[in-house]
Structure 1
Amino acid sequence: MAERPVKPWVKMALELGPVAAFFAGYLRLRDQVFTIGGTEYDGFIVVTAAFIPLMVACTGVLWALTGRLSRMQVATVVLVVVFGGMSVWLNDERFFKMKPTIIYALFAGVLGLGLMRGQSYLASLMGEMLPLRPEGWMILTRRLALFFAGLAVANEAVWRLMSTDAWVNFKTFGLTAALFGFFMAQGGLLRRYGMERDGDA
Structure 2
Amino acid sequence: MQERNVHPGLKLALELGPVLLFFVAYVWLRDDSFVIGGTEYEAFILITAAFVPLMAACMGVLWLLSGRLSRMQVVTLVLVVVFGGLTVWLNDERFFKMKPTIIYAMFALVLGLGLLRGESWLQFVMDGMMPLQREGWMLLTKRLALFFGVLALSNELVWRLMSTDAWVNFKTFVLPAALFGFFMTQAKLFERYSIDKPE
> How do 1:68-87 and structure 2 match up within 5 A?
68-87=68-87
Q: Name the aligned partner's letter for residue 107 of structure 1.
A: F
1:158 maps to what in 2?
158
**Cα shift readout 1:112-135 (whole Å, capped 9, x = no counterpart):** 010000000111111111010000
Q: Name the aligned partner's letter for residue 52 of structure 1.
A: V
Aligned-pair CA distance for 1:2 = 5.5
Residue 14 of structure 2 is aligned to residue 14 of structure 1: yes
Q: Name the aligned partner's letter for residue 186 of structure 1.
A: Q
- Counterpart-to-counterpart distance in 1, 2:92 and 2:128: 41
- Counterpart-to-counterpart distance in 2, 1:116 and 1:75: 22
1:64 maps to what in 2?
64
- Counterpart-to-counterpart distance in 2, 1:2 and 1:149: 34
> How do 1:73-152 and structure 2 match up within 5 A?
73-152=73-152
Q: Give aligned-pair identity as a percent.
A: 69
- Counterpart-to-counterpart distance in 1, 2:163 and 2:3: 41
**Cα RMSD over matched residues?**
1.2
Task: Write out the 4+ residue segments of structure 1 that deviate beyond 6 Å after TM superposition.
Answer: none
Q: Name the aligned partner's letter for residue 137 of structure 2.
A: W
Task: Specify the SS of the correspondent of 2:69.
Answer: coil
Aligned-pair CA distance for 1:90 = 0.4
Q: What's the TM-score, normalizing by structure 2? A: 0.98
1:25 maps to what in 2?
25
- Counterpart-to-counterpart distance in 2, 1:60 and 1:2: 15
Task: Specify the SS of the correspondent of 1:65.
Answer: helix
- Counterpart-to-counterpart distance in 2, 1:105 and 1:153: 8
- Counterpart-to-counterpart distance in 2, 1:192 and 1:113: 25
Number of aligned residues: 199
Task: Specify the SS of the correspondent of 1:35.
Answer: strand
Q: Name the aligned partner's letter for residue 105 of structure 2.
A: A
2:43 maps to what in 1?
43
Task: Specify the SS of the correspondent of 2:131.
Answer: coil
- Counterpart-to-counterpart distance in 2, 1:25 and 1:3: 34
2:3 maps to what in 1?
3
Aligned-pair CA distance for 1:3 = 2.6
- The unaligned stretches of length 5 or more in structure 2 are none
1:186 maps to what in 2?
186
- Counterpart-to-counterpart distance in 2, 1:113 and 1:70: 20
